[in-house]
Amino acid sequence: MGCPKQVTCVWLGEANIVIEINDGTDAEQHRINVPALGFHRAILSTDSHKVYLKNIEPYPIRPDDKLKSYKLVLKIVPQIL
């Protein structure tokens, strides 16, 4: 995640995420650390798909915000073989 909007910080932080891909018979998990400024870029490539992180929501406003959950906005594109 990034710095809250009302704070100046030195290190923006990161989000640690797990993406599970399930094709109906097999499932595989991928653990990924995403830097706070890593939006709008590919975060995972498999033989069949490329996953782009578009955004993480909500964005904190104050340093004492206690956000319990976040939503990842992903774009998943099939790989052309």
pLDDT in tens, the chain (81 residues): 566 677 677 666 777 888 888 878 888 899 988 876 667 788 888 888 898 988 888 776 776 777 778 788 889 898 876
Q: Where are the beta strands (DSSP E) in 1-81?
A: 14-22, 27-35, 41-45, 49-57, 71-78
Residue 29 has what pLDDT? 92
Specify the 3-state DSSP secondary structure of 66. coil
- In the DSSP assignment, the letter for residue 48 is S
Global pTM exceeds 0.75 = no
Residue 15 has what pLDDT? 79
Residue carrying the six token digits 């998990």: 29
Q: Is 19 exposed, middle or buried (0-12, 13-18, 19+ CB in 10 A)?
A: middle
